[in-house]
Structure 1
Amino acid sequence: MVLAFLRDVFGPEKLKTNNELKKIELKGEFISSIDINVSISSQHVEVNLSDLHGYEKHVLESFINDPHTPSGKAVHCDRTNCRAIVIHAADKLSTDAQHYLLWLMEKYQGCNKIFFFCSDASKLQIIRHLCKIVKLLPASDSEIVEVLEFIAKQECIDLPHDLAKRIAENSKHNLRQAIRSFEASWKSNYSFKENQDILTGWEEDIAKIAKNIVEEQSPKQLYIIRGKLKNLIEHDVSPDFIFSTLKEELKKHLDAQCQAKLDALYQDFNNRDSGLILKAA
């Protein structure tokens, strides 16, 4: 949504985005610098707080401070000298980082505009009074169908209306997930049929996790796998889908005896989960 707004303001030519590795100097820290992943264009920069490793203050200050802005002088801001800073997962900002940002924003006189992209604005109480809050309602199924059919028309893909409706319903009002499912299902089996299976687009990621599990069992690998599973959950992928798909992918790398043991473990896990639900009810 933020990028759609910025494209409308600056034009699509100005928002041609590249992914880069940016070096940030860390003054007064134990390490002298860190490299972070950013998405950047001539008019904006995007960063995810999850990638900043606790150095939010240094990174955000480097983006906010404009070296071309004369200190203590009023600046006329327009589209030519205004740059957008998009902070994803902003509700993860620590209290200390928010106080520091508040100080920066109150004294800042440049033309950069900051967009805090978050799911819970109440966690940004310290800087909230300086911001204009825009609440985004989830897309309806009909709106998602309209977008899917528009994409299909642009790509010359014959998308049955009923299949588009099923993809929309399965996405649970998540437009990005609907588009991902549409693309994955199209790559898997085209031409489309009304009753064909709908993929989520995460099947390949889970298959790689299964392969990694079989290839190496170590504390380091466990840490990496946990991070990948956490990423799936953060993208609203159903835990039931994750583990059922992971089970099937693991079985592809195991012999018959191990497959039977895995099925038994999975069944036992499901029975325990159902028992907890019944007890809670």
Structure 2
Amino acid sequence: MKNSVNIILCKDFIEYFLRVFQVSHYLKSCNGQGSASAPILVPVSSSNHHVELNMRSQSKNARYALMTLANEMSDKRKITEPVVRKNFKVILLYGVDKVSENNQRLIKWILDSSSDACKIIMTCQDESNLVDSIKSRCKLITIGVPSTREIVDILTYISKRESFDLPATFATTIASQSRQNLREAILALEACKTKNYPFIDGQAIPLGWEEVLEELSAEILDDPAPKRLFLARGKLQKLLVEFVPPKLILQKLVELFLKGIHTSVKREVYYWHAYYDKRLPVGASALLKLEEFVAKFMSIHRKSLSVGSQ
């Protein structure tokens, strides 16, 4: 939902955004600490008019990524003809309330020093975790949570568009258990349908599984050391016990991994995704195959990082 709200704001902010909005995902090379340090690679998403950075998943390297982006935009601004200077670049920052105060103060500095080169849109879940210097410089927009009835209506609309039957009682159960979180409710519906359809009374409703996979993928992309495999096994086992379908876990992992790797190795990841997708059993017995895939990806990622650092 936060991503969707940001995109809507950007479309209003840039007049012709709808015509040219094509997002690409790649690794951004950022300057590390000290002139002799190796470049730091940070996953970003961007179009001609905006850049997205997940502050929560990149909390370790967020400082370097922010500095690099701000400097690049300022440099481009200096050489741009005044007649086209109205085409601002927008930086979308997710999870700002999850990063340290030092990184938040850096955002404040960018707000002060680069306002003529870029505009910043930030999202957070708890504004009380933001430093006052940021809150005083921003227009705060609070997005109210949807009611249970509104979530049920959206789930029903999705089921009609996707041509499957969704009993009203089951939709209400999902909406109630999702704690008024629309995105979580939609993901729970997807997981339930993949796990068991037609739906049955008392069917388990997995919640929060996407967040677990986002944390796992961020850890692996940051440090694909073999020791991570043991931690990955525990998280994958937890999801399977909570009835998250194995194919959905694999699909989401691939989606997250692809955003944080070199283009040169993406084809290999696609190959192994297809390989394990065909061989993935159902239920908890899929743990071994999921673990094999993660180990395979970690090996690919380690090799690509070692080649890139040479």
Provide the rounded CA distance (Å) in 2 between the counterparts of 1:51 and 1:76.
34
- 2:27 pairs with 1:21: yes
Q: Aligned partner of 1:199: which letter?
A: I
Post-superposition offset of 1:27: 5.2
User: 1:59 maps to what in 2?
Assistant: 65
Provide the rounded CA distance (Å) in 2 between the counterparts of 1:9 and 1:104.
19
User: 1:132 maps to what in 2?
Assistant: 139
The equivalent position to 2:103 in structure 1, one of 77, 91, 97, is: 97
TM-score (normalised: structure 1): 0.65
The equivalent position to 2:76 in structure 1, one of 68, 72, 93, is: 68
Comparing 5-14 with 143-152, which one deviates more in the overlay?
Answer: 5-14
Provide the rounded CA distance (Å) in 1 between the counterparts of 2:11 and 2:58.
26
Provide the rounded CA distance (Å) in 1 between the counterparts of 2:84 and 2:142.
29
The equivalent position to 2:172 in structure 1, one of 148, 165, 173, is: 165
Structure 2 matches for 1:132-151, cutoff 5 A?
A: 132-151=139-158
User: 1:181 maps to what in 2?
Assistant: 188
CA RMSD of aligned residues (A): 3.8
Bigger relative contact order (CA 8 A; separation at least 6): 2
Specify the SS of the correspondent of 2:180.
Answer: coil
Post-superposition offset of 1:220: 4.5
The equivalent position to 1:3 in structure 2, one of 4, 7, 18, is: 7
Whether the 8 Å contact between 2:26 and 2:44 is mirrored in structure 1 is yes
Specify the SS of the correspondent of 1:152.
Answer: helix
User: 1:114 maps to what in 2?
Assistant: 120
User: 1:46 maps to what in 2?
Assistant: 52
- Structure 2 residues without counterparts, runs of 5 or longer: 217-225, 244-282, 289-310
Whether the 8 Å contact between 1:49 and 1:88 is mirrored in structure 2 is yes
Q: Aligned partner of 1:147: which letter?
A: I
Q: Aligned partner of 1:60: which letter?
A: L
Provide the rounded CA distance (Å) in 2 between the counterparts of 1:83 and 1:68.
10
Specify the SS of the correspondent of 1:182.
Answer: helix
The equivalent position to 2:163 in structure 1, one of 156, 161, 165, is: 156
Query: Bigger radius of gyration, 1 or 2?
Result: 1
Post-superposition offset of 1:141: 0.8
Post-superposition offset of 1:224: 4.7
Provide the rounded CA distance (Å) in 2 between the counterparts of 1:147 and 1:8.
24
Provide the rounded CA distance (Å) in 2 between the counterparts of 1:199 and 1:7.
35
Post-superposition offset of 1:183: 1.1
Post-superposition offset of 1:12: 4.7
Post-superposition offset of 1:168: 0.8
Provide the rounded CA distance (Å) in 1 between the counterparts of 2:242 and 2:158.
28
Provide the rounded CA distance (Å) in 1 between the counterparts of 2:80 and 2:101.
28
Write out per-residue CA displacement over residues 34-90 of structure 1, whole angstroms, 9 at most, x where no aligned residue: 111122223322212234353323211222341321279978764xx2232111121
The number of aligned residues is 227
Comparing 24-33 with 174-183, which one deviates more in the overlay?
Answer: 24-33
Specify the SS of the correspondent of 1:39.
Answer: strand
Structure 2 matches for 1:248-267, cutoff 5 A?
A: 249=284
Q: Aligned partner of 1:172: which letter?
A: R
Identity %: 27
Whether the 8 Å contact between 2:56 and 2:99 is mirrored in structure 1 is no
Comparing 140-149 with 65-74, which one deviates more in the overlay?
Answer: 65-74
Post-superposition offset of 1:9: 4.6
Q: Aligned partner of 2:77: which letter?
A: T
Whether the 8 Å contact between 2:93 and 2:121 is mirrored in structure 1 is yes
Whether the 8 Å contact between 1:181 and 1:198 is mirrored in structure 2 is no
Provide the rounded CA distance (Å) in 2 between the counterparts of 1:8 and 1:155.
29
The equivalent position to 2:206 in structure 1, one of 200, 209, 229, is: 200
Whether the 8 Å contact between 1:49 and 1:89 is mirrored in structure 2 is yes
